Structure 1
Amino acid sequence: MPQDAYAQAGVSQRAADRGVAALVAELSRIETGRPSRSVPLPGHYASVLRLDDRTGLALGTDGVGTKMVVAERMRRFETIGIDCVAMNVNDLICVGAEPIAMLDFILCDSADPEICGAIGRGLREGAELAGIEIPGGEIAQVGEIVAGYELTGTAVGLVDLDRIVTGERARPGDVVIGVPSSGLHSNGYTLARHALEEIELSDSRLGRPLGEILLEPTAIYVRAVLDLLASKRVDVRGLTHITGDGLNNLLRLAAPVGFEIDEPLPVPAVFELIAELGGVGDEEMYEVFNMGCGLACVVSPESEQPACEILEPHHPGARRIGAVTDRAGEVVRRS
């Protein structure tokens, strides 16, 4: 594939950014006739509304994207619900919130009870891993619009207003700790599928069938991060869910700083295969995929060891991957 392989595969991040900007421009003009409850968190992972003087309600929404295409081809829907939960709750924890519930939304051409049941089993498992409830949801049968299934969710959580994690306290010299991903998670599947389209999903050159590797559920980081935030030994200054845009997601933190990633986590073999067969350059790979790092935690230098001790039992392999720099708006990767 040529340069900007993701756009060639059918996904233009630049177009998406322009679309978001146009949408937000209109939504920012909403007049409710009363003072806004919104806590300003521009560009962050979740929105927060003030419930009272102490408590905020965190909200986020996300879906599984075209990972569902792989599930449909494999006729395996029992784990895709885990991905839906993960993509939502992992965003909420990045503002320091404790997720408490999620609603799911299934868009399909026709609701098959067997498929819906399998999706439900994954949602249940994901909810139990995250410690949340799923008290309701919606199924919309719109065969004139879609062929197949789409799965999204909207999650809510609670956060003390004076403990919202924005990243504004990050300082040069702070440590960036990387927490391993379980694989592709739920981003970049359009590019991945195009790069791997000549390989059967049963191909086992990576030690397991390719389809199983692509359907590996997204890691859920809730319990690890809640333990981190509760620790008196750790000063958490920023939390970043590494999704689309890769390590550039670090720039969503509020402080005017940069980041140097000098000890990146090991890259799973599936990413190397995508790069090789898709002709995707190293730079674009790190802009589209998590490349083995699903979450980044920014902590004070003295918090590095206790933070790793807390994260490691939940997600083996969590360790320092870099540091905060004074080069604002810049993410430099050295390997």
Structure 2
Amino acid sequence: YYLVMTDDGTGTKIDVALAAGNCKTLGSDLLAMVTDDAVCTGAEVIAVSNTIDIAKVDPKIIGDLMEGLSKACTAQKIVIPAGEIAEVPGAVHSATWSATAIGIVAKNRVIDTKHISPGDTVIALKENGARSNGFSLIRKILSEKFGKIWWKTLRPTPDTPTRTWGDEVLSPSVVYHAAILELIGRYGEKRKINVKGIAHITGGGIPSKFRRVLKRSGHGAVLDHLFTPPEWLTEISAMGKVTTEECYRTWCMGNGMLIVVDAEDAKETISILKKSHVEAQECGTTTEDPAIVVHGYDGSVMHFRAS
């Protein structure tokens, strides 16, 4: 067996949560950042540790953060054996929250991306938020548009007339870890699907994270049926005059994970994911040409060449 470890944090999303007084869903964001990186190797995460660095300890804030993380870990069958809370007013102005995930994978079960071939099917897993990436840009654009307390500005929907911009940007991340394990098997379980590659779409977006998966095989992909990003995110990009290409380099744009499978396994893969309450769809095909071609939500076509 191999031991797999990943580290990450919620970035400046926690600044929005603290300002808006809504920290209860941030645990899903933290867990997603580390477990969904680890599962890309084929690993099952068994434990997560975390560290909160905060200017001043507030028991309610700590309670809300840990309650959210505990719920998220329980759903993923992960334990929290340890953690640390540090009051460091001289080091941070509000707070940072990071985690380390520990997983295991059998040596013969590591996902080896060299087996990706032209004609394989790429499947996108839906994400309704921005996960924990690109929040410095989000905060900048919204503060310039609505002022310093932009998170209180209403963005009503037909179902929720009192919904705010803070509510939108704090949409919790989908944690894909358990759903992926339904495909590749937990410890002692048989593999249901031959998954050839998994990309967790975080910082750098599809051009960066999917490129890592395709690099070893030397192939590319045409992604012409991706999920559309949430409306609130495209509104933000319009406010900040962010180009479509930069959007796909900054955010996941509605596609939190991409997985590569044999074409004949695509329908079964989507069915298994659906049973795990993860919405997925075929979004493209791998190609001999190493370029990643992305058909954007606005009809644009972008070619991201291998560097």
Q: Name the TM-score class by shorter chain.
A: 0.7 to 0.9
CA distance in 1, matches of 2:54, 2:69: 17
Match of 1:106 in 2: 52
How many Å apart are 1:129 and its aligned residue? 2.1
SS at match of 2:249: helix
- Structure 2 counterpart SS, 1:147: coil
8 Å CA contact retained: 2:184, 2:192: no
Deviation track 1:262-307 (CA, whole Å, cap 9, x = no partner) reads 1111221022111110110000000000000001110011111111
Distance 2:278 2:76 in 1: 18
Equivalent of residue 159 in structure 1, options 97, 101, 105 = 105
Structure 1 unaligned blocks of 5 or more:
1-54
1:305 aligned partner, one-letter code = K
Question: In structure 1, how many angstroms separate the alpha carbons of the residues matched to 2:3 and 2:31?
Answer: 18
Residue 292 (structure 1) aligned with residue 254 (structure 2) = yes
Q: Which residue of 2 aligns with 1:3?
A: none
Equivalences, count: 280
Tell me which residue corresponds to 2:238.
276
Is 1:306 equivalent to 2:265 in the alignment?
A: no
Letter in 2 for 1:70: V
Aligned residue identity for 2:121:
V
The match for 2:171 is 216
Q: For residues 1-335 of structure 1, what are the structure 2 equivalents within 5 Å?
A: 55-197=1-143, 198-199=145-146, 200-205=150-155, 207=157, 208-230=163-185, 233-248=192-207, 249-253=209-213, 254-328=216-290, 330-334=291-295, 335=299
Query: Take 2:152 and 2:121, find their aligned partners in 1: how far apart are those partners?
Result: 41
- For structure 1, which segment, 229-238 or 140-149, has the greater mean C-alpha deviation from structure 2 after superposition? 229-238
RMSD: 1.4
CA shift for structure 1 position 91: 0.6
Amino acid at match of 1:321: C
The letter for the 1-side match of 2:182 is D
Deviation at 1:86, TM superposition (A): 1.3
Deviation at 1:234, TM superposition (A): 2.2
TM-score normalised by length of structure 2: 0.88
- 1:233 deviates by 4.9
Indicate the percent of aligned positions where both proteins have the same amino acid.
33
1:10-60 deviations in whole A, cap 9, x for unaligned? xxxxxxxxxxxxxxxxxxxxxxxxxxxxxxxxxxxxxxxxxxxxx111100
Q: 1:264–1:150: structure 2 CA closer, same or farther, 3 Å change rule?
A: same
Amino acid in the other structure paired with 2:92 = V
**C-alpha separation in 2, matches of 1:285 and 1:150:** 25
- How much has 1:205 moved relative to structure 2? 3.0
Distance 1:316 1:140 in 2: 35
Deviation at 1:316, TM superposition (A): 4.8
1:28 is aligned to none
Question: SS in structure 2 opposite 1:150?
Answer: strand
Query: Separation in 2 of the partners of 1:281 and 1:107?
Result: 34
Structure 1 SS opposite 2:133: coil
Q: State how far apart, in whole Å, the 2-side matches of 1:129 and 1:291 are.
A: 25
Shift of residue 109 of structure 1?
A: 1.5
For the residues of structure 2 that align with 1:281 and 1:116, how far apart are their CA atoms?
38
CA contact under 8 A between 2:115 and 2:217: conserved in structure 1? yes
Residue 154 of structure 1 aligns to a residue whose secondary structure is: strand
Instruction: Report the residue type matching 1:141 in the other structure.
Output: E
For residue 313 of structure 1, report the CA deviation from its aligned partner.
2.7
Q: CA deviation at 1:206?
A: 5.3
Q: CA deviation at 1:63?
A: 0.1
Q: CA 1:92/1:232 → structure 2, altered by over 3 Å: closer, same or farther?
A: closer
SS at match of 2:18: helix
What is the rounded CA distance, in whole Å, between the counterparts of 1:233 and 1:97 in structure 2? 15
8 Å CA contact 1:179–1:315 kept in 2: the answer is no
Alpha-carbon deviation of 1:317?
3.3
Give, as a single letter, the amino acid of the residue that structure 1 aligns with 2:100: T
Measured in 2, the distance between the counterparts of 1:95 and 1:232 equals: 14
Q: How big is the shift at 1:166?
A: 3.3
Other structure's SS at 1:134 match: coil
Residue-by-residue CA offset, 1:117-167 (whole Å, 9 max, x unaligned): 111111101211221000111112221111111000000011011111132
**Which structure 2 residue ranges, 5 or more long, are not aligned?**
158-162, 300-307
CA contact (8 A) 2:128 2:229 kept: no
